Amino acid sequence: MDMKRRLNLFFLVMILILPLTVLAETGENLWLRYLPLSNQLQQKYAEGISSLMVAGEGAIVKSAESEIMMAYSGLIGKPLRKVTKPVAGTLLIGTDQHRAIRDLNLSSELEKCGDEGYIMRSVSVKGGNILVIAANSNAGLLYGTFDLIRRMQTGDDIAQLNVVEVPRYNLRLLNHWDNLNGTVERGYAGHSIWWNRPENETVLKNQYVYYARANASVGINGTVLNNVNAAPEALTAEYIEKYARIAEIMRPYNIKVYMSVNMASPAVIGKLKNSDPLNPDVVKWWEEKVKEIYARIPDFGGFLVKANSEGQPGPHDYGRTHVDGANLLAKAIKPYKGVVMWRAFVYEPGQEDRARQAYNEFMPFDGKFEDNVIVQVKNGPVDFQPREPFSPLFGAMEKTPLMVEFQITQEYLGFSNHLAYLSTMWKETLDADTWCKGAGSTVAKTTDGTIYPHKLTAIAGVANIGRDVNWTGHHFAQSNWYAYGRLAWNHQLSSETIANEWINMTFTHDQAFVKPVSEIMMRSRESVVNYMTPLGLHHLMGWSHHHGPEPWTEIPGARPDWLPSYYHKASSFGIGFNRTTKGSNAVEQYFSPLKELYNDPNTCPENLLLWFHHLPWDYRLQSGKTLWDAICYKYYEGVEDVRLFQKKWDMLEGIIDAQRFSEIQYKMKVQTREAIWWRDACILYFQTFSGKSIPFELERPIHDLDELKKIKFDMTHHN
Ligand code: GCW
């Protein structure tokens, strides 16, 4: 090839490749991209902050310092100069132990900040202002620094700040359902980032530091590294060592590690005769184990336990109680200030309504647990469905601290294929009024120390993180990790505020993008509810994969409470689960006036109607529609929503990088296809009971019921 042709070819290749590289983003940087801001913002921020003084020492302060240096140079385009005396334009970060902060007389305000809160304030000095981030601890400084960075990333004004921030919950945790063999239970973003990793230490360390920064940026301060369906081996010396290595990387970001433990461990790995919580040998075994852990991980957070639930071993195996089991661990770990999170996710097949079981099993133990035990309760009484009422344990258990467990991973909301922004769902629970102490006794207030003044307050979210390049499979699933952290810090934030922050940081400030995308996000969870389980329906999915619709499932020999027909109870008469006083009476577990409200179909919120009532197909809703018609309209509405999301998204091409744009576009196609699958399956199946036709103005289903029943869902494409 002659020179000229070679050159031509070179330019041709460059022309083709350049835009791709410039415009490609993998999503691996999450919301911490730190790309240059607009000239205008750069100028504004550079005027406000031109130097840095750090009055503090230790690894956590170092993290804060390196983060602001990195963010500043990325966002503003020049390095942040370090100074040893504050002058106009200095960002001063420090604790009250240091003179530079003490001189500012902030101590009465710092008293409000507790262990992890902070103050951020502009203070005038000769020639201008300084911006101060002050806290009682290094952790507070780290969170304050990330707050400032977020304000710059989202284009906020930082000229006259006067902020006091205190987290609502003390422990803000992620729960990884990661198995030691590297698989992730209900994980849809690849294998575990923690276990069974072939990569070398440096690669892993880089990834873990990124993980720690992302969590610290939203205030998460603890992480459980292994599945609640726990392998006893987690407690062997080999795994304690692995835990210790990860803890070392997390520590500079104020993140503690916690472990899920298997209650049969003393017998399985300790070779004891049994694991009976009252057996003195068992007591001793746990004490020694705890000692071994703390020798390697002095700030180890504590244990998470799933006992006597879904086949996991526990105290019932020896005729003992949850209290016996939890207190055994609590006493062993108390000298080291560790905690025990004991899960209330329990149910047994039988005559009793599954939704009543956790309450029945745990209420008698109120006040019987050691003070370092907190009972971890899923947001709803059944199991992370797209919509459930809040668990009646909230507000009811007074003397024992409770923590909410949310599911960030989308087990029942379309895996990592569906765009479902879950903040609105979590807010629905947190803001729900339990009425335990009259109006305004929200779930949030019953768990954050406001109504019941427990010192131990916490919240947990089941992580959606895996080895995928973008961490969460769907780019929008990152917003759920982000939103969970923000709500754990402050449950009063609105879902819209959080969505807007995330979009601005993750994609662009361009309102032509931010506005429609925020609208899509805000609507998205309700759309999923509508095309999967509208009007209070629940548990209609395939019994093993939990993804697609299988409302027809009948499996001989399988536990009846695992099958959809147990929950929808469709018959030629009607549909829904009767949990009223004339049915299972699950309503009695709620406080007045909720129980009366739920008990009457005329006052029961329509979006929970079939959760609490079994109603005839001709039952008239407030809108005047019959129940059958209303079900049809809801399913169709869900599908129409996601079609609209697709259209809106298609119009945004060119505003953001091509890679993420098209990856999301593809996922939206999958979502629409699956929404139609759900709609057709549920409507055609329920129609075999109702015998009624689909309202005339709605389009006809595109599937045939027999064909739908034959679909064998293949999990391998979804892990
Ligand atoms: O939602 C169900 C899941 C199980 C899970 C269980 C639990 C970890 O289907 O996979 O097991 O809940 O929360 O314990």
Give dist(CA 469, CA 465) in Å, integer: 10
Atom 3 of ligand 1, residue of closest alpha carbon: 186
Distance of CA 241 from the midpoint of ligand 1 (Å): 27
CATH code of 655's domain:
3.90.1330.10
Residue in 65, 388, 411, 526 annotated catalytic: 411
Distance of CA 620 from the midpoint of ligand 1 (Å): 36
Give the domain-ending residue among 165, 180, 196.
Answer: 165
177 lines ligand 1 (CB under 6 A): yes
Q: What is the pLDDT of residue 23?
A: 66
Give the domain-ending residue among 118, 137, 165.
Answer: 165
Same-domain status, 200 and 278: yes
Residue in 199, 201, 310, 699 annotated catalytic: 310
Locate the ligand 1 atom nearest the alpha carbon of residue 378 and give its number.
13
Q: What is the pLDDT of residue 553?
A: 80
pLDDT band at 579 (very low <50, low <70, confident <90, very high): very high
- The whole-number average pLDDT for the span 354-377 is 98
Q: What is the pLDDT of residue 350?
A: 79
Inter-CA distances, 586 with 322, 562, 596, 613, Å: 22, 18, 11, 11
228 lines ligand 1 (CB under 6 A): yes
Q: What is the pLDDT of residue 403?
A: 98
Handedness of CA 658, 659, 662, 668 (dihedral sign): negative
Atom 13 of ligand 1, residue of closest alpha carbon: 345
Distance of CA 419 from the midpoint of ligand 1 (Å): 22
- Per-residue pLDDT reduced to its tens digit, 35-73: 999 999 999 999 999 999 999 999 999 999 999 999 999
- Per-residue pLDDT reduced to its tens digit, 588-638: 999 999 999 999 999 999 999 999 999 999 999 999 999 999 999 999 999
b/e per residue 87-99 (b: at least 16 CB within 10 A): eebbbbbbbbebe
Q: What is the pLDDT of residue 13?
A: 58
547 lines ligand 1 (CB under 6 A): no
- Per-residue pLDDT reduced to its tens digit, 544-567: 889 999 999 877 766 777 789 999
Q: Which of 257, 274, 273, 371 is nearest to 314 (CA)?
A: 274
pLDDT band at 712 (very low <50, low <70, confident <90, very high): confident
Distance of CA 177 from the midpoint of ligand 1 (Å): 9
Return the HEC string of 74-129: HHHCCCCEECCCCCCCEEEEEECCCHHHHCCCCHHHHHHHCCCCEEEEEEEECCEE
Distance of CA 63 from the midpoint of ligand 1 (Å): 35
Q: What is the pLDDT of residue 170?
A: 98
For residues 381 and 358, the answer to whether their CB atoms sit within 8 Å is yes
The answer to whether residue 599 is domain-embedded is: no
Same-domain status, 218 and 148: no
Q: 113-117: long-range contacts (C-beta < 8 A, 24 or more apart)?
A: 113/140, 113/164, 113/165, 113/166, 114/166, 114/167, 115/139, 115/140, 115/170, 116/140, 116/143, 116/166, 116/167, 116/170, 116/219, 116/221, 116/254, 117/143, 117/164, 117/165, 117/166, 117/167
The answer to whether residue 588 is domain-embedded is: no
- The whole-number average pLDDT for the span 382-409 is 98
pLDDT band at 348 (very low <50, low <70, confident <90, very high): confident
Same-domain status, 158 and 180: no
The answer to whether residue 592 is domain-embedded is: no
Residue in 147, 383, 405, 428 annotated catalytic: 383
Beta-bridge partner residues of 375: 342, 402
356 lines ligand 1 (CB under 6 A): no
Q: What is the pLDDT of residue 7?
A: 58
The answer to whether residue 79 is domain-embedded is: yes
- The whole-number average pLDDT for the span 90-105 is 96
The answer to whether residue 637 is domain-embedded is: yes
- Above 70 in pLDDT, residue 19? no
Counting residues of the chain whose pLDDT is more than 90, the rounded percentage is 92
383 lines ligand 1 (CB under 6 A): yes
229 lines ligand 1 (CB under 6 A): yes
CATH code of 310's domain:
3.20.20.80
pLDDT band at 503 (very low <50, low <70, confident <90, very high): very high
- Per-residue pLDDT reduced to its tens digit, 273-289: 999 999 999 999 999 99
Q: What is the pLDDT of residue 676?
A: 98
Same-domain status, 380 and 423: yes
Same-domain status, 491 and 390: yes
Give the domain-ending residue among 165, 184, 202.
Answer: 165
How many domains are there within the chain?
A: 3
Query: Which pTM value belongs to this model?
Result: 0.96
Q: What is the pLDDT of residue 665?
A: 98
Same-domain status, 703 and 565: yes
Say how many C-beta atoms besides its own lie within 10 A of residue 709's C-beta. 13
The answer to whether residue 272 is domain-embedded is: yes
Locate the ligand 1 atom nearest the alpha carbon of residue 343 and give its number.
14
185 lines ligand 1 (CB under 6 A): yes
Distance of CA 467 from the midpoint of ligand 1 (Å): 21
384 lines ligand 1 (CB under 6 A): yes
Locate the ligand 1 atom nearest the alpha carbon of residue 228 and give its number.
8
- The whole-number average pLDDT for the span 574-599 is 98
Same-domain status, 267 and 345: yes
Mutate to test the pocket of ligand 1, among 383, 388, 407 (most ligand atoms within 8 A of CB): 383
Same-domain status, 299 and 335: yes
310 assigned to active site: yes
- Per-residue pLDDT reduced to its tens digit, 231-288: 999 999 999 999 999 999 999 999 999 999 999 999 999 999 999 999 999 999 999 9
Mutate to test the pocket of ligand 1, among 229, 342, 464 (most ligand atoms within 8 A of CB): 229
526 assigned to active site: no
87, two tokens? 């002058």
- The whole-number average pLDDT for the span 93-98 is 95
The answer to whether residue 410 is domain-embedded is: yes
Same-domain status, 475 and 348: yes
Same-domain status, 388 and 278: yes
406 lines ligand 1 (CB under 6 A): no
411 assigned to active site: yes
Locate the ligand 1 atom nearest the alpha carbon of residue 384 and give its number.
1
CATH code of 158's domain:
3.30.379.10
Distance of CA 144 from the midpoint of ligand 1 (Å): 35
- Above 70 in pLDDT, residue 133? yes
The answer to whether residue 22 is domain-embedded is: no
Q: Which of 190, 177, 180 is nearest to 716 (CA)?
A: 190
Q: Which of 7-11, 197-201, 381-385 has the lowest mean pLDDT?
A: 7-11
Distance of CA 174 from the midpoint of ligand 1 (Å): 15
Q: What is the pLDDT of residue 24?
A: 86
- Above 50 in pLDDT, residue 21? no
Domain coverage including residue 242: 171-506
- Per-residue pLDDT reduced to its tens digit, 624-637: 999 999 999 999 99
Angle (nearest 5°) at CA 634 between 630 and 637: 135
412 lines ligand 1 (CB under 6 A): no
Same-domain status, 320 and 206: yes
Atom 2 of ligand 1, residue of closest alpha carbon: 383
Q: What is the pLDDT of residue 4?
A: 65
- Above 60 in pLDDT, residue 716? no
Distance of CA 264 from the midpoint of ligand 1 (Å): 19
Locate the ligand 1 atom nearest the alpha carbon of residue 177 and give its number.
8
Same-domain status, 286 and 336: yes
Counting residues of the chain whose pLDDT is more than 70, the rounded percentage is 95
- The whole-number average pLDDT for the span 375-404 is 98
230 lines ligand 1 (CB under 6 A): no
Q: What is the pLDDT of residue 711?
A: 86
Distance of CA 539 from the midpoint of ligand 1 (Å): 13
Locate the ligand 1 atom nearest the alpha carbon of residue 186 and give its number.
10
